[in-house]
């Protein structure tokens, strides 16, 4: 099979499209012929060596994708050859074939395309648990979303509105602010503005919840949170956060909580139930997925450059 591999850490140029051996499936695995593969910043970090990679080179990136079942292991009875499936956390996805553990397999409804599945699963499931588990949005809540034009951000905006929240988005450019408004935000501010003070004004004291994914903006996020409000920290794309003084939390009755998707997707049942809710929202038109930017898998280096340029406004997918 063909796969996008790399043998040393570095820039996009380390990626090579080569012929390698097909994976051998175990008794509780299925072999999936990939139709679409999601590209995520985690792939960039792993390519650079910032994230841990198991095993020895050549390495294969990719954790998210969708395709058709090519064969099944001897202990797999509820999935058949030809079934349409997806996954959100299986390694070595940047290839024509991927060995997928049964417990991580997500059935695809007929209405959900391979491209949509590869565009929504990681980012959509993240937004789902953030709005249900980390902080359950209530009707009327003021919801502040960082990096609101990004993949998780646009999903947070849409789900926040669906749950009855008044959503405020933060982004870096006017062009991106238009994307956030299209997603349904009630207000959008640019990072170059004095956004935390403006948010306190329009909310009469601060947001009920702030979804913080930038990291370096954590102090300003607390300033934009009401007395008794919550900051949900789930990323640091803009740098490390400052230390938080617990005395500030005590004095203001504010809550700081963290979130990680892998602490939620702990079983096959969790994956299927949560994915079905996402798919149902999409089918019903309650959650809209922008058409992704597509690159051939052989052009993976070009796709990485485009993602790192931060010019993309939607998902990037790789097509074998």
pLDDT above 80: residue 125: yes
Q: What is the pLDDT at residue 310?
A: 74
What is the SS3 assignment for 148? Answer: coil
Q: At residue 311, does pLDDT exceed 80?
A: no
- Tokens matching residue 135: 């902080």
Q: Sorting pLDDT into bands at 50, 70 and 90, what band is 9?
A: very high
Instruction: Give, to the nearest 10 degrees, the angle between helix 174-183 and helix 151-162.
Output: 40
Q: Which CATH class is domain 2-120+265-319?
A: alpha beta
Spatial distance between the Cα atoms of 145 and 207, rounded to a whole number of angstroms? 10
The pTM for the full model equals: 0.92
User: Is the pLDDT confidence value at 238 over 90?
Assistant: no
Structure tokens at 17: 């499209």
* 18 band by pLDDT with thresholds 50, 70 and 90: very high
81-85, 138-142, 292-296, 313-317: range with lowest mean pLDDT: 313-317
State the average pLDDT over residues 240-252. 95
Average of per-residue pLDDT across 32-48: 95
Percentage of the chain beyond pLDDT 90 is 90
Q: What is d(CA 279, CA 128) in angstroms, rounded to the nearest whole number? A: 12
Domain locations in the chain? 2-120+265-319, 139-258
Picking from 54-63, 115-124, 142-151, 161-170, which range would have the lowest pLDDT averaged per residue?
Answer: 54-63
- Give the per-residue pLDDT at 3: 97
The CA-based dihedral angle spanning residues 71, 21, 11, 122, taken in that order and rounded to the nearest 10 degrees: 10
What is 139-258's CATH number, 2.40.30.10, 3.40.50.720, 3.40.50.740, 3.40.50.9100? 3.40.50.720
- Give me the helices (H) in the chain, please: 41-48, 114-129, 151-162, 174-183, 195-203, 218-223, 246-252, 268-283, 300-308
């Amino acid at each position: 099979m063909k796969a996008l591999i790399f043998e040393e850490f570095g820039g996009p140029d380390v990626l090579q499209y080569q012929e390698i051996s097909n994976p051998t499936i175990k008794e509780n695995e299925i072999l999936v012929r990939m139709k679409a593969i999601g590209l995520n910043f985690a792939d960039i970090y792993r390519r650079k060596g910032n994230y841990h990679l198991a095993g020895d080179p050549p390495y294969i990136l990719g954790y998210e994708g969708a395709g058709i079942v090519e064969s099944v292991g001897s202990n797999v009875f509820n999935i058949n050859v030809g079934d349409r499936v997806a996954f959100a956390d299986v390694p070595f996805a940047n290839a024509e074939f991927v060995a997928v553990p049964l417990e991580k397999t997500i059935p695809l409804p007929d209405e959900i395309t391979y491209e949509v599945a590869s565009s929504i699963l990681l980012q959509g499931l993240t937004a789902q648990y953030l709005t249900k588990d980390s902080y359950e949005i209530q009707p009327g809540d003021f919801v502040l979303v960082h990096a609101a034009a990004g993949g998780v951000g646009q999903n947070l905006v849409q789900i926040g509105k669906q749950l009855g929240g008044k959503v405020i988005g933060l982004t870096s450019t006017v062009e991106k602010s238009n994307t956030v408004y299209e997603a349904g935000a009630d207000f959008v501010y640019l990072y170059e503005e004095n956004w935390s003070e403006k948010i306190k004004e329009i909310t009469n004291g601060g947001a009920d919840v702030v979804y913080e994914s930038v990291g370096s903006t954590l102090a300003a996020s607390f300033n934009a949170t009401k007395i008794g409000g919550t900051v949900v920290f789930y990323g640091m794309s803009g740098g490390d956060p400052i230390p938080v003084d617990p005395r500030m939390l005590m004095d203001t009755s504010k809550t700081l909580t963290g979130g990680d998707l892998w602490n939620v997707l702990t079983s096959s049942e969790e994956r299927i139930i949560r994915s079905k809710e996402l798919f149902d929202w999409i089918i019903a038109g309650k959650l809209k997925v922008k058409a992704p930017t597509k690159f051939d898998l052989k052009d993976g280096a070009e796709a990485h450059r485009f993602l790192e340029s931060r010019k993309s406004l939607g998902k990037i997918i790789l097509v074998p």
